[in-house]
Amino acid sequence: MEDIRAEDFADHVMEKEKDSNHGFEEEYEQLALESHSLSQTVASAPENSAKNRYSNVLPYDWSRVALKPPQEEPGSDYINASFMPGLENPQEFIAAQGPLPQTVGDFWRLVWEQQSRTLVMLTNCVESGLVKCEHYWPLDAKTCTHGHLQVTLKGEEVLENWTVRDLMLQHMQEQNTLSVRQFHYVTWPDHGVPRSPDPMLAFRKMLRQWLDENVGGGPPIVHCSAGVGRTGTLIALDVLLRQLERDRCVGPFSYVRKMRESRPLMVQTEAQYVFLHQCILRFLQQSGQAPTDNGAAFENPLYENV
């Protein structure tokens, strides 16, 4: 499927939305048909089963992020996380599942070994009475210890739709530290989508500004609960908006297909796929590159509880 020119994008979305999003439904079904039979040998090994939150979301062997094993025990290099392609860099992001109680230490090892200064969290720890992610950072100024790593909360700014936390990671053996900023979006329902693109676009703008100003270190680590739905949507939004600014055209279908070669189920629902397009259109409207007369399309009552 060809990329869509910026000036044609509003018409493209309008066409796909006809007959209750029939065009988007067909497009998304086509993505689902292109499943990849890539090996997931390490993720599905018996010693690693307890490290996976969902049995149907396993990283592919070729793109998984391997930990440096501290000892030669089976599975000690495994974490449910995958390198994800960006605009040019084939490993621009890491998409990960939300830590489990037994994988919090591995998660911080991942942050340390990759020297990732940015965490993006797109889930709440508990949603609709279900645990979606372990609370892996300190609740207050008291330091948490995970193996050789100590984590300290240095600062926190709480806003309506997100919270920004500054954390300090210290390696007790190496006596080195790593400053980490966590961007935590708190109003995105699991499997569903936010009611409006505007807060998500503001969140992405803040995140992109931070990443552009802090170019050192490893890939940003993005996670939700499974590390595919909300995680895939946010990564896709960031990459596609930069493609739009660079090339004056955008290819949501092509990029989501590319993501799924690196990690299964990225952009997990049709609702999220539609929302991705709505965010791009809203971005074009905000920058005066698309008409604003179909703003009603941005309310998402149909998808709110998908």
pLDDT digits (tens, 9 = 90+) for 170-204: 999 988 999 999 999 999 987 779 999 999 999 99
Q: Is residue 167's pLDDT more than 90?
A: yes
Q: Quickly list DSSP for 219-268.
A: PPEEE-SSSSHHHHHHHHHHHHHHHHHHHSEE-HHHHHHHHHTTSTTSS-
CA-to-CA dists, residue 46 to 51, 264, 295, angstroms: 10, 20, 50
Q: How many CB atoms lie within 10 A of CB 291?
A: 13
* pLDDT greater at residue 91 or residue 174: 91
224 catalytically annotated: yes
pLDDT digits (tens, 9 = 90+) for 140-163: 888 999 999 999 999 999 999 999
pLDDT (0 to 100) of residue 34: 80
Domain that holds residue 31: 4-303
Which tokens belong to 109? 């090892």
Domain count, the chain: 1
Q: Is residue 264's pLDDT more than 90?
A: yes
Four-CA torsion 13, 16, 20, 25, nearest 10 degrees: -120
CA–CA gap between residue 270 and residue 111 (Å, rounded): 31
Relative orientation angle of helices 229-247 and 197-213, to the nearest 10 degrees: 70
CA–CA gap between residue 219 and residue 29 (Å, rounded): 31
Considering the chain, what percentage of its residues have pLDDT values greater than 90?
Answer: 84
pLDDT band of 49, cuts 50, 70, 90: very high
Relative orientation angle of helices 270-286 and 197-213, to the nearest 10 degrees: 70
pLDDT band of 299, cuts 50, 70, 90: low
pLDDT band of 302, cuts 50, 70, 90: very low
Which tokens belong to 294? 């179909």
Which tokens belong to 156? 């926190």
Q: Which of 125, 224, 249, 279 is catalytic?
A: 224
pLDDT (0 to 100) of residue 71: 67
pLDDT band of 304, cuts 50, 70, 90: very low
Q: Closest Cα partner for 76 from 63, 67, 87?
A: 67
Q: How many CB atoms lie within 10 A of CB 246?
A: 10
CATH code of residue 18: 3.90.190.10
Query: Which residues on neighbouring strands pair with residue 157, listed in sequence order?
Result: 164
pLDDT band of 295, cuts 50, 70, 90: very low
Average pLDDT, the chain: 92
* pLDDT greater at residue 214 or residue 301: 214
